[in-house]
């Protein structure tokens, strides 16, 4: 018989949910580099006293079910980032027109309202296709640098997985990769984006949402709802060449750092004034760690910190994507 379950024939499709947990047809085909669907079942094995050394007599039972989508890695693109960020940074963000054919998607985290959106994923292979509704974004990470590929990683926890046919006739979209190796870095203590630095070798920017599943007695073993059960922040890590003492001094003196990364793409056709596609990452905080290390014969420092609220900015981090899409497919 023919062998199925072949990795090259895996396929990922998705749609942002209007009603969390209601299965709906996918609206986009989303290429992935990797990712795994991981069903989770909690099972009780009663250890009964039966005058026997056999531990289990087939009377075990399930008492909770959920699903994880782990390690969903993809190439970050100017077109897809705003779609992903609806589940991790801020939901219901729409395009703001600028420069005629250029559009800004700005993700400023909401302080006290849970506005993150949920996703219905379709995970397909040549053995079986599953719909995975009520997928909550839990962790989102961007990382790259010199001599490194650009990588985006997204993790979700979902309600359940249901075997069903995949949505057909979805076309691949034209996208442009965000090349982190071409980025620019700015580090300031006053106005963000003022002082360009030439020391950053690589970086990672990670969001943890604090999303949790809500289980209740409703006749099902899977979760009925969700909630934000923890505070959230953006974790920033970077490797800096030790060519000056500014950041080591900032670490020692507990000085706030205002960090901006910008990554430009191609020119947007018809934009006036001429505008490029762009990803901007803003982060406010203080270095929690700044150890020395060695890399390619250089002395480096590996800075790390959690974002902190900046009263002047009104947030602790922000992401903005500029592309040529008035709406997100």
What is this structure's pTM? 0.94
Q: Is pLDDT at 1 greater than 80 in this prediction?
A: no
Residue 50 lies in a domain: no
* Domain total of the chain: 1
Residue 169 lies in a domain: no
pLDDT at 173: 92
* Owner of token pair 């590929």: 149
Buried b (16+ CB within 10 A) or exposed e, 39-62: eeeeeeeeeeeeeeeeeeeeeeee
Residue 48 lies in a domain: no
Residue 120 lies in a domain: yes
**Mean pLDDT calculated for residue range 251-275:** 97
Strand partners, 12: 123
Residue 2 lies in a domain: no
Residue 52 lies in a domain: no
**83-99 pLDDT, tens per residue?**
999 999 999 999 999 99
**14-35 pLDDT, tens per residue?**
999 999 999 999 999 999 999 9
**164-187 pLDDT, tens per residue?**
999 999 999 999 999 999 999 999
Q: Is pLDDT at 258 greater than 60 in this prediction?
A: yes
**Mean pLDDT calculated for residue range 205-234:** 95
Q: Which residues form the domain of 77?
A: 10-42+64-163+176-323
Residue 240 lies in a domain: yes
Residue 168 lies in a domain: no
């Amino acid at each position: 018989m023919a062998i199925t379950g072949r990795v090259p024939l895996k396929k990922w499709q998705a749609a942002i949910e209007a009603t969390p947990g209601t299965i709906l047809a996918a609206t986009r085909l989303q290429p992935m580099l990797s990712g795994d669907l991981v069903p989770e079942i909690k099972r009780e094995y009663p250890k009964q006293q039966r005058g026997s050394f056999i531990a289990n007599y087939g009377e075990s039972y399930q008492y909770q079910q959920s699903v994880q989508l782990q390690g969903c890695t993809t190439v970050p693109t100017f077109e897809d980032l705003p779609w992903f960020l609806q589940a991790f940074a801020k939901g219901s963000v729409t395009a703001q027109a600028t420069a005629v054919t250029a559009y800004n998607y700005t993700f400023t985290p909401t302080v006290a309202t849970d506005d993150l959106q949920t996703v219905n994923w379709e995970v397909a292979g040549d053995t079986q296709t599953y719909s995975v509704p009520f997928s909550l974004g839990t962790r989102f990470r961007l990382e790259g640098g010199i001599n490194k590929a650009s990588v985006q990683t997204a993790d979700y926890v979902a309600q359940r997985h249901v075997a069903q046919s995949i949505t057909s006739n979805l076309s691949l979209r034209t996208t442009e990769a965000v090349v982190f190796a071409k980025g620019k870095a700015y580090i300031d203590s006053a106005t963000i984006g003022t002082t360009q630095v030439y020391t950053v070798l690589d970086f990672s920017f990670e969001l943890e949402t604090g999303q949790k599943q809500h289980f209740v007695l409703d006749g099902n073993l899977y979760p009925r709802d969700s909630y934000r059960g923890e505070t959230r922040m953006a974790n920033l890590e970077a490797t800096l060449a030790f060519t000056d003492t500014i950041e080591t001094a900032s670490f020692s003196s507990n000085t706030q750092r205002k960090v901006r990364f910008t990554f430009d793409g191609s020119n947007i056709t018809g934009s006036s004034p001429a505008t490029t596609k762009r990803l901007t990452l803003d982060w406010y905080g203080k270095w929690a760690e700044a150890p020395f290390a060695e890399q390619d014969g250089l002395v480096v420092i590996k800075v790390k910190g959690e974002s902190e609220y900046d009263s002047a900015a009104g947030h602790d981090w922000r992401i903005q994507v500029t592309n040529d899409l008035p709406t997100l497919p």
